[in-house]
Amino acid sequence: MRDDSGRKVIDKLRRIIEKNEQKLTYFQNRLKQAEFIDLPNQRLIGTATGHADSYTDQLAVLQIQLRELERLYGGSVKLRTTEERDLRRIWGWTNEPALRDRLGTEFVPFQAYVDNWHGWLTDEDTHPFSIDLPSTELAGFMLIRHTDKDRKIVTLEFIVVRPDCRYHGYGTEAVQQAIDLAFEHLGVDAFRLQVGIDNYSAFLCFERCGLECIDQGHYGNLECYHMEMRREVWEGVRSDESIVERDDRETPEASDPDAIGGESNPYLTAKLLAPLKELVSDR
């Protein structure tokens, strides 16, 4: 199957997800409205609850399918230097009340955020990165900087992923790329970060990236875990990965009669895409 055909399926799947998200929001809003009614219709509440649960479950399945297709056809997320056109959206994500409460940070006016960005670009020890999806859509932001005088340690100061892209692995991929960049291109000996002790999902994300908890303390007003990866650990992981990749290349691949379009594709077969083709054709 050609790449453009796969991307068409991805685009259709994204549109289906968007429609399901709109319908889920509709039923969630009906449930919120019912909270302010003295004698709400319990039958309508039950129906709305059932629809909301159904769309929530369906969205979870669709998001998993979309993620797999994006990996197969679009690759992983990409890091690039943050540009001024990104700032308005990033500023909105970083100033979400729930996120500020979790991080213990104050509201930052937009112009102050722009001034910070100019400062980051002129500081050789600071690296602001926008996180792009394989489709080149902006999905998040991270800031890493050297935190020792010898420039041998970098710290992930901040990372945010836009709300609809959370819990799909994008943040994990972005952190893994930042780790590789730090060791390969910045030549550091250690990659560090702090994460709030109640931010369990972020802690698991960083653990999956190979970071280890080395201490517990305070970062400003936030009680947090201090996590780290050393160069020797990173080199060991990369060495193990290269051995696996070499073994995969040396293993002869059997011809697959299910390959789409008559082309050899060891990852994506007709059996995998068949349910998705049926799904998008029915919408």
pLDDT tens for 17-42 read 888 888 888 888 888 888 888 788 88
H or E segment and range at residue 250: helix 231-250
Could you tell me the pLDDT band of residue 64, with boundaries at 50, 70 and 90?
Answer: confident
pLDDT at 68 over 90: no
How far is the first Cα of the chain from the last one, in angstroms, to the nearest whole number? 22
pTM (2 decimals)? 0.65
The chain-wide mean pLDDT, for the chain, equals 82
DSSP secondary structure letter of residue 84? G
Could you tell me the pLDDT band of residue 78, with boundaries at 50, 70 and 90?
Answer: very high
Could you tell me the pLDDT band of residue 254, with boundaries at 50, 70 and 90?
Answer: very low
pLDDT tens by residue, 269-281? 333 444 444 444 4
CA angle 6, 25, 55 (to 5 degrees): 55
Structurally, at CATH architecture level, domain 78-238 sits in: 3-Layer(aba) Sandwich (3.40)
Could you tell me the pLDDT band of residue 73, with boundaries at 50, 70 and 90?
Answer: low
What pLDDT score was predicted for residue 110?
95
* Residues sharing a CB contact under 8 Å with residue 282, sequence separation 6 or more, in sequence order: none
Q: Could you tell me which of 151, 227, 222 has the C-alpha nearest to residue 182?
A: 151
pLDDT tens by residue, 81-91? 999 999 999 99
Q: What is the mean pLDDT of residues 5-12?
A: 75
For residue 219, the cross-strand partners are: 222
Q: What is the mean pLDDT of residues 48-68?
A: 83
Q: What is the mean pLDDT of residues 262-272?
A: 36
Helices (H), 123-217: 170-184, 200-208
| Torsion angle defined by CA atoms of residues 91, 97, 98 and 102, in that order, rounded to the nearest 10 degrees | 80
pLDDT at 260 over 70: no
What pLDDT score was predicted for residue 267?
32
Could you tell me the pLDDT band of residue 106, with boundaries at 50, 70 and 90?
Answer: confident
Q: What is the Cα 189 distance to its own chain's centre?
A: 25
pLDDT tens by residue, 175-213? 999 999 999 999 999 999 999 998 888 999 999 999 999
